[in-house]
Chains A and B, each alone.
Chain A
Amino acid sequence: MTNVSGYFFAQLKRALKLAPAQFLADFLICVCAGVLVYLLVAQGAAEAGGTKYRIGMVGDLSDSYLGFGIAALQEMDDSRFMIELVGMPEEEAEDALARGELYAVMRVPDDLMEAVVSGENDSLITYTAAEGQRGLGTMVMGEITEIASTLVTSSQSAIFAMQRVLLDRGRGEELGRATDRLNLSLINLVLSRSGFGEVEILGYADGLSMELYYFCSAFLLFLLLSGLLNCAFFVRRSTALTQFLKARGVGASCQIAGEYLAYLCLVCMGLISLSLPVALLLERGMFGIPEWEGMGAYPFWGFLRTLLPVIFMFAALQFFLFEAAEGIVNGILLQFLCGIGMGYLAGYFYPAAFFPERMQTVGGILPAGAAARYVEEGLSGHARAASLVAVFAYFTLFFALAVLARKKRIGRE
């Protein structure tokens, strides 16, 4: 025991030497995260206040029907609160897209209206999204354009069918007036399409709001990747020292225990330096989480208490990964890939519910998933012993594996 505590204090001294640089890195992370959160909140507020996703419209928009359609979308449709259509020359639109001022550019072909009126629909409106590759944003945009397309083609079908019926019955002279009236009737119904359904909001019976979910995920991801922040602790580890310590009676488990506790202190210091500004912001009400509304920073301290077993487990995981990898270089790569991979599968970036069931199961089994489940259950007031046991089982496993890796290394050397 004396050996462990002596070795622990020596390691703690080493860890404390790294603290100033770590605080600086934490400060940088806080600044980055703070600016991002501020911008996202500002974007949300701006959207609520009328700022929208701007879509550049390129091509000949002089056709009266097309102009009417765009004006109707901008003046009467529900989409006007989210989307702003702006007509502009192609070059200007391309530049604005590259500068990030437009969400997408839509190119309207010259013969679009002829194609729509004839029902051929062979002239397609092409659009380019600002995302360089296919992603969630472009897929959502694909859905939106499909919806618009369905509304147009179904209306076309109804109008053409009515025209066919009139022509079949020899009432061709009524065609123009009947088409206009049916057109107006359909446009009117499209604009009031929200009347199809009656919306009932049930609220959160259990589970977390999206804000709290991402708040937890950000902290969990920080803890999961803190191995990268603290990698300096594992630089210049003397291989001769481990053998020397062994010869002096400090075995592999005592060495690991001493080093692990010092490393744990370093992780905790990182978390504290990140938590203080967050608590300050919460206390001043500068950002809100629905479940914690009006409670200041008080629930946040409870959240940090809930995180404690996870901190132990993640620190053990990182310690094991550095111990298992040959050298700091491999250790860093392993930390990054395991952190990002597990974080992604466990739903730290996209909510786990977005994933296929089998992927959710795999993500839930991983240490990052077990940690997320434990924290979510704790926050929603449905804590289960099984989740805590899973976290501690992982902690024990990683600690034991680290000891084994150290034993193997001492034996090999």
Chain B
Amino acid sequence: MTGNVFVKFWLMQKRLLKQKSFFFMMCLAPLLAAGVGRLSGEPAGIAAIAVYLPEEDAAAKEIAGRIFDDDSVLRYLPCEDEEEARACVESGEADAAWIFAQDMEERLRELAGKRRVRPVVTILERNDSVPLVLGREILTAAIYPAFSYAVYEGYVREELGMEEITEEALRAAYEQVAVEGSLFQMVYPDQVPGEAEDYSYVQAPLRGILAIWLTFCGLASALWFMRDEERGVYDRLPVTNRLYQSYMACVVFLTDASVALLLALKLSGVFTDWKRELVSCVFFVLCVTAFVNLLVLLCRRPQRLGMALLPLGVVMLALCPVFVNLQYFRAVKMLLPPWYYLQSIHNVSYLYLMAAYTAVLVVFSLLLQRLRSHFR
């Protein structure tokens, strides 16, 4: 029995791999992923900010170091003068400009001592958007250390009455006790720290895109099987055995696709570790197999299944956490195999849920097939 299954598997595999365009198709996904992975290495940001910082101001230098050295979700365009920064926004090259005052250090001192309220920076924006609101907070965080230092300096001199204290003494005391590092750490549900995976948001959607691609490979294999069925390739098999054959065709197809998926993940830079990826991928392939075979039984004809492809693709792109993570439609999300796969990478409970969903799909398929045979 096992030998027979293996022979069938191998024969189908040979038939598939003999097609040059199928082989090419399987290579395309890793090529796309590798290309995006390579291109994403350069600086990118959800908003481009033109920055003008006066060169001679010490506080400005400190802030420049903090802005330009940080690995940020914003992209910065250093400008020579205020006009250049303004022109960048007006031409659309930048979404906003941060123009720092010439006498920044002085203004910070005034602000810290509540003597005068003159803005430290002029913010020019094309429109009010979420990335730019976040940008303003990032700007605040860049200015705040210099500002808190000015507050400390003013407080010691004025409130504590130590006007004679030198700048060097103040700075030395500050640097001696300066607190560094972050107070927060992102962890995944499996307690893996967020920093363990180092890739940019440009690469992040690749796993989701590839997961939907693998689902489409499953759907394509279903069309392949249905077309063969129409041609009479399986005429010698009893109708009750067709479901098993359809599962077999899908697994053969998806075995190649899963190799391409793993390779694409590795090349794109979003790969985690072999064991986790392999287990999730196996569960995912089985889930997609059960999912598309239920669709085959529901659609019956290749044309109907073909018509369902785009709506299904749209639903998967919108509801699976590929580009955005919508909080709605959990019930619909739970019908989509890529959703389980994407969640399962860092949460083993979704693997169990995926297995349970696969079992439900298989039971439904068997029942549907029995009903069909009964009424035929």
- A169 contacts B314, C-beta separation under 8 Å: no
CA distance A367 to B296 in the complex (A): 34
Chain A proximity mask over B55-88: 1 for CB below 8 Å, otherwise 0? 0000000000000000011000000000000000
Chain B proximity mask over A145-167: 1 for CB below 8 Å, otherwise 0? 11111111111111111111110
CA distance A344 to B189 in the complex (A): 29
List chain B residues, Cβ under 8 A from A140.
46, 73, 134
CA distance A225 to B134 in the complex (A): 33
- B173 contacts A359, C-beta separation under 8 Å: no
- B92 contacts A359, C-beta separation under 8 Å: no
- A205 contacts B91, C-beta separation under 8 Å: yes
Q: Quick one: closest B residue to A125, CB to CB?
A: B184
Instruction: Tell me whether A400 is interfacial, beta carbon within 8 Å.
Output: no
- A132 contacts B342, C-beta separation under 8 Å: yes
List chain A residues, Cβ under 8 A from B141.
146-147, 150-151
Central interface residue in B35, B140, B209, B346, by most chain A CB within 10 Å: B140
Give chain B interface residues in 107-160, CB to chain A under 8 Å: 111-112, 117, 119-129, 134, 136-141, 143-145, 147-149, 151-152, 155-156, 159-160
Instruction: Tell me whether A226 is interfacial, beta carbon within 8 Å.
Output: yes
- B19 contacts A235, C-beta separation under 8 Å: no
Residues of chain A whose beta carbon lies under 8 Å from any beta carbon of chain B: 18, 21-22, 24-25, 28-29, 32-33, 36, 39, 43, 98-101, 103, 116, 119, 121, 124-166, 168-169, 171, 174, 178, 181-182, 185-186, 189-190, 193-207, 209-210, 225-226, 228-229, 231-232, 235, 324-330, 332-334, 336-337, 340-341, 344-345, 349-350, 353-359, 362
Q: How far is the CB of A160 from chain B (nearest CB, A)?
A: 4
List chain B residues, Cβ under 8 A from A186.
148, 151
Instruction: Tell me whether B25 is interfacial, beta carbon within 8 Å.
Output: yes
- B216 contacts A131, C-beta separation under 8 Å: no
Q: Given A134-B199, A157-B178, A332-B219, answer yes or no on A356-B40 (Cβ-Cβ < 8 Å).
A: yes
Q: Given A231-B306, A337-B32, answer yes or no on A182-B152 (Cβ-Cβ < 8 Å).
A: yes
When the two chains form the complex, which single residue of A125, A324, A354 contacts B45, counting CB atoms closer than 8 Å? A354
- A29 contacts B346, C-beta separation under 8 Å: no
CA distance A205 to B86 in the complex (A): 12
Give chain B interface residues in 167-209, CB to chain A under 8 Å: 169-170, 173-174, 176-189, 194, 197, 199, 201-202, 204-205, 207, 209
Instruction: Tell me whether B318 is interfacial, beta carbon within 8 Å.
Output: yes
Q: Given A153-B181, A225-B313, A336-B216, answer yes or no on A144-B134 (Cβ-Cβ < 8 Å).
A: yes
List chain A residues, Cβ under 8 A from B125.
199-202
Q: How far is the CB of A58 from chain B (nearest CB, A)?
A: 12
CA distance A32 to B91 in the complex (A): 36
- A185 contacts B155, C-beta separation under 8 Å: yes
- A32 contacts B311, C-beta separation under 8 Å: yes
- B310 contacts A225, C-beta separation under 8 Å: yes
Q: Given A161-B152, A340-B213, answer yes or no on A328-B227 (Cβ-Cβ < 8 Å).
A: yes
Residues of chain B whose beta carbon lies under 8 Å from any beta carbon of chain A: 19-22, 25, 28-29, 32, 35-36, 39-48, 72-73, 89-92, 95, 98, 111-112, 117, 119-129, 134, 136-141, 143-145, 147-149, 151-152, 155-156, 159-160, 162, 165, 169-170, 173-174, 176-189, 194, 197, 199, 201-202, 204-205, 207, 209, 212-213, 216-217, 219-221, 223-224, 227, 270, 302-304, 306-311, 313-315, 318, 321, 323-328, 330, 342-347, 349-350
Question: Knowing that A151-B140, A202-B124, A202-B125 are A-B contacts, what are 15 other residue pairs whose CB atoms are under 8 Å apart, sorted by A's residue number?
Answer: A18-B303, A136-B323, A143-B72, A150-B141, A150-B144, A154-B144, A155-B148, A189-B147, A196-B147, A201-B125, A202-B126, A228-B306, A328-B302, A355-B39, A356-B44
CA distance A350 to B322 in the complex (A): 11
- A235 contacts B323, C-beta separation under 8 Å: no
When the two chains form the complex, which single residue of A137, A197, A231, A349 contacts B309, counting CB atoms closer than 8 Å? A231
Q: How far is the CB of A223 from chain B (nearest CB, A)?
A: 11
List chain B residues, Cβ under 8 A from A147.
137-138, 140-141
Q: How far is the CB of A384 from chain B (nearest CB, A)?
A: 15
Q: Given A127-B186, A128-B189, A133-B342, answer yes or no on A229-B307 (Cβ-Cβ < 8 Å).
A: yes
When the two chains form the complex, which single residue of B182, B310, B345 contacts A124, counting CB atoms closer than 8 Å? B182
CA distance A132 to B308 in the complex (A): 27
List chain B residues, Cβ under 8 A from A210.
127, 129
- B177 contacts A32, C-beta separation under 8 Å: no
- A133 contacts B346, C-beta separation under 8 Å: yes
List chain B residues, Cβ under 8 A from A341.
32, 209
- A126 contacts B309, C-beta separation under 8 Å: no
- A128 contacts B188, C-beta separation under 8 Å: yes
Q: Quick one: closest A residue to B72, CB to CB?
A: A143
List chain A residues, Cβ under 8 A from B189.
128
- B136 contacts A128, C-beta separation under 8 Å: no
Q: How far is the CB of B121 from chain A (nearest CB, A)?
A: 4
- B155 contacts A162, C-beta separation under 8 Å: yes
- B183 contacts A334, C-beta separation under 8 Å: no
Interface CB pairs A-B, < 8 A, 12:
A132-B345, A132-B347, A133-B270, A143-B72, A162-B156, A186-B151, A198-B119, A235-B227, A235-B306, A330-B19, A332-B216, A336-B216
Q: Given A153-B179, A161-B173, A193-B140, answer yes or no on A355-B202 (Cβ-Cβ < 8 Å).
A: yes
Q: Quick one: closest B residue to A143, CB to CB?
A: B73
Q: How far is the CB of B307 from chain A (nearest CB, A)?
A: 5
When the two chains form the complex, which single residue of A28, A134, A196, A324 contacts B143, counting CB atoms closer than 8 Å? A196
- B307 contacts A29, C-beta separation under 8 Å: no
